[in-house]
Structure 1
Amino acid sequence: MENPAPASTAAADVFNAACPSRRVLELIANKWALLILPALRDGPLRNHELKRRVGGVSQKMLTQTLRELEDNRLVQRHDHGTAAPHVEYQLTVLGRSLSETLLAVDRWVEAHHEQLQPAARRKWTGR
């Protein structure tokens, strides 16, 4: 039996274009992922509940983002296997740890969004 390849001992560096962590950064920097992950932090939601909670997301983008989050082990899909389709999505342990971080970003955006509007920028910069 072969020994598995040793884990990389190189430190991750998101500033390095070749670092695999860059792919993770791209995944979680997606607008819909930034909203879906914290939306699931209070517990499992069905697709229609999640769509209602994340205003403005199309069904196509919701499905696409959920699949990508599931593929990357941040979200778990649970099909109850009933005659009437009953599928719920919930955070994995890894997804929960990320959602807590994203919740802090959400709160920062809510507190400072007015300062980042174009009229406010013109006032500060004269442009």
Structure 2
Amino acid sequence: MDTVKNSDKICEKVEHVHEIISKKWVSSIIHTLMEEPKRFSEIHGYIPDLSKRVLNERVKDLENLGIVIRNVITDRPIRTEYSLTRKGIELGRALKGLEDWANKWV
């Protein structure tokens, strides 16, 4: 009985991850932030087909999930950068495996 309950919980968690990464542009945003923090305009520059409105929505979603953090830098001029949290970096590493698979098989 415990095995079934644990299996159900694992399936729920996996489904939740699929819901997160299946939103269009999410994996591209995470990929873009893997190397270093970037300003909104820099993220948009790396993904030019992504509208600013959708980028704003996705970044807010990822912030709410604890995957991305918004950093306000108070130096003049004041600017905002986005970076991955530890949780986001680990997700990015997992997505790298999918990228490697896609490069080999797709």
Query: Unmatched 5+ residue regions in structure 2?
Result: none
AA of the residue aligned to 1:62: L
- Matched ranges for 1:32-43 at <5 A: 32-43=25-36
* CA distance, structure 1, for counterparts of residue 104 and residue 46 of structure 2: 20
> TM-score with structure 1 length normalisation?
0.69
Question: 2:19 is matched with which residue: 26, 30, 34?
Answer: 26
Aligned to 1:112: 105
For residue 54 of structure 1, report the CA deviation from its aligned partner: 2.0
Of the three residues 1, 8, 13, the one matched with 2:10 is: 13
Match of 2:90 among 77, 89, 97: 97
CA RMSD of aligned residues (A): 2.1
Partners of 1:73 and 1:21 in 2: CA distance: 17
Q: Counterpart of 1:90 in structure 2: which amino acid?
A: S
> Which structure has the highest helix share of the two?
2
Say whether the 8 Å CA contact 1:38–1:100 is kept in structure 2: no
Give identity over the alignment, percent: 24
Question: Could you list the runs of 4 or more consecutive aligned residues of structure 1 that deviate by over 3 angstroms after TM superposition?
Answer: 81-85
Q: CA, structure 1 residues 97+20, in 2 after alignment: closer, same or farther (shift >3 Å)?
A: closer
- Structure of greater Rg: 1
TM-score when scaled to structure 2? 0.81
2:66 aligns with one of 58, 73, 80: 73
Whole-angstrom distance in 2 between the partners of 1:104 and 1:20: 19
**Cα distance, 1:30 vs. partner?**
1.7
Shift of 1:104: 1.8
SS at match of 1:66: helix
Q: What does the per-residue CA deviation read over 1:22-75, in whole Å, with 9 as the maximum and x for residues that have no partner?
A: 333201222311111121110100111111112311101111000000000000
Q: Distance in 2 between matches of 1:103 and 1:10?
A: 27
